[in-house]
């Protein structure tokens, strides 16, 4: 197939693949005519079905959800940076897929939603399909960020090369949870949990440590199977890595070259050595200390910057401002186009922090399943988060608000033997999509009808796109 499509990248493994190159691309039902069958977001993959392609006619393609025709000018060989803010109800889970087909997972929520999303997206139900992650990161040890990682780390179809965490594992001994405190500092940071550590861990932390061990055992097995299926895959020189991550590490490998177009820099937490021992700030109690020392990243692609903030709180944000101040000549490293709101839209945030970040768009991951016990996102955060934006029309996306629910029919209700009341099912997940090539950046969520066979197929979706 002649490579006449715009773009510089032609993957020899997938020479017949191309990607949508505009914010929204219309898929037509025919080679001619105006009737459409789908709208595809920037960066969506398509498989070219034509044996020869020409700039003078639409291209016949297969996409996730169907087949159709796309204008030549709307396709490119170049992939986009893709970030999926996965709807995991109350919790965080962020999947990053880079333009060179590498993957990072940051947090896994508390449910199986993130795992289900990954298995569906990469068709892991098929016997020949496997997937690898360059890194899986637990920003901190709360259940709504880590519990969902257990099944992902243990999945025999997933190769995890590196597991990073902030070093604070919850313990059953409240006096030592999550470490010992002295002079408003928390000590006892852990790199790789050992047998002695596990003895003092809470049940969830023990399960997490066991899942890390399982990921290490899985890695060479899955890598071999991927190579047997002619998949390109590499492995860290020293094998599986599990370590505590903080600002001293600089960048997330292998995205640790700031001279390259894509880099992922670790901004927080920031450990300080006192009497030969590393420590973090103590924020008054165990919960606030674990949250306040969440791993925070800045993703840079070309001119675009995205700040991911875990469950940072006001005290931690103010500490970060002292480390990354904003100057007249040089802006703060925190300044970002897109900001993933800390702690699911909690009211525990710093206004000076938002004044420095200046986000043009924000993403909030939240969703209370029972009695709205957390109340996230809070009204004051929603009213403040883009107040200091540099654009005329800032945007706030929320996984909770983007999710759509539908009532079960009377026939379906009989399966539950429900005499009174009404049940609902989630009709569309509240996934927030981010796509960027380094120059342009778009955020989007969907509404409307989903494909009856594939919950990720967008043949009938309508898109809410920013900007």
Which of 190, 173, 116, 105 has the alpha carbon at shortest distance from 139? 105
pLDDT of residue 254: 81
pLDDT on residue 417: 61
* pLDDT at residue number 179: 94
Residues in contact with 279: Cβ distance below 8 Å, sequence separation at least 6, in sequence order? 185, 186, 187, 189, 271, 272, 273
Tokens found for residue 407: 């009532």
Domains recognised in the chain with CATH numbers? 17-76 (2.30.30.40), 81-402 (3.60.15.10)
pLDDT along the chain (467 residues), means of 10: 62 77 93 90 93 89 91 92 89 92 94 93 91 96 94 96 96 93 95 91 97 96 85 79 95 77 93 95 95 96 93 94 79 90 75 94 76 63 84 86 61 62 61 91 80 62 85
The pLDDT, as a whole number, for residue 357 is 93
**Adjacency order of strands within the sheet including 81-85:** 241-244, 162-165, 135-137, 103-106, 94-97, 81-85, 432-436, 441-448, 461-466
Contacts 24+ apart (CB under 8 A), 95-102: 95/121, 96/299, 98/255, 98/262, 99/9, 99/262, 99/437, 101/11, 102/134, 102/254, 102/255
Lookup: tokens for 73: 């000018």
Are 132 and 159 in contact by the 8 Å Cβ rule? The answer is yes
Give Cα separations from 108 to 139, 228, 244, 447 (angstroms).
10, 29, 18, 24
DSSP 243: E
């Amino acid at each position: 197939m002649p490579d006449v499509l715009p773009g510089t990248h032609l993957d020899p493994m997938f020479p017949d693949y191309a990607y949508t190159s505009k914010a929204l691309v219309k898929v037509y039902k025919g080679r001619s005519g105006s009737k459409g069958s789908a709208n595809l977001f920037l960066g969506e993959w398509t498989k070219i079905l034509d044996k020869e392609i020409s700039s003078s006619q639409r291209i016949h393609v297969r996409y996730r959800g169907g087949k159709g025709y796309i204008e030549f000018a709307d396709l490119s060989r170049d992939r986009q940076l893709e970030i999926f803010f996965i709807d995991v109800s109350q919790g965080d889970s962020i999947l990053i897929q880079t333009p060179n087909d590498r993957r990072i997972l940051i947090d896994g929520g508390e449910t199986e939603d993130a795992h289900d999303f990954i298995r569906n997206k990469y068709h892991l139900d098929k016997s020949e399909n496997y997937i690898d992650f360059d890194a899986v990161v637990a920003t901190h040890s709360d259940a709504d960020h880590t519990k969902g990682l257990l099944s992902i780390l243990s999945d025999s179809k997933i190769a995890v090369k590196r597991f990073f965490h902030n070093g604070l594992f919850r313990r059953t001994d409240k006096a030592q949870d999550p470490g010992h405190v002295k002079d408003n500092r928390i000590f006892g940071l852990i790199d790789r949990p050992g047998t002695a550590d596990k003895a003092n861990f809470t049940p969830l932390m023990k399960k997490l440590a066991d899942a890390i061990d399982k990921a290490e055992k899985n890695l060479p097995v899955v890598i071999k199977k991927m190579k047997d299926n002619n998949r390109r895959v590499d492995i860290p020189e020293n094998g599986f890595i599990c370590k505590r991550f903080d600002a001293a590490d600089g960048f997330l490998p292998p995205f640790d070259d700031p001279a390259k177009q894509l880099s992922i820099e670790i901004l927080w937490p920031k450990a300080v050595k006192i009497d030969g021992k590393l420590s973090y700030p103590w924020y008054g109690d165990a919960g606030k200390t674990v949250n306040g020392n969440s791993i925070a990243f800045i993703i840079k692609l070309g001119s675009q910057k995205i700040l991911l903030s875990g469950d940072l709180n006001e005290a931690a944000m103010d500490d970060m401002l002292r480390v990354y101040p904003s100057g007249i000549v040089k802006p703060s490293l925190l300044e970002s186009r897109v900001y993933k709101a800390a702690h699911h839209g909690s009211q525990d945030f710093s206004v000076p922090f938002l004044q420095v970040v200046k986000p043009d768009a924000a993403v909030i991951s939240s969703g209370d399943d029972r009695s709205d016990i957390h109340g996230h996102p809070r009204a004051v955060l929603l009213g403040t988060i883009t107040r200091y934006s540099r654009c005329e029309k800032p945007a706030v996306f929320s996984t909770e608000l983007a999710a759509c629910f539908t009532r079960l029919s009377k026939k379906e209700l009989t399966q539950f033997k429900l005499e009174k009341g009404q049940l609902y099912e989630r009709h569309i997940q509240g996934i927030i999509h981010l796509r960027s090539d380094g120059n342009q950046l778009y955020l989007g969520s969907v509404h409307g009808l989903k494909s009856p066979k594939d919950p990720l197929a967008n043949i009938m979706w309508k898109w809410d796109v920013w900007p």
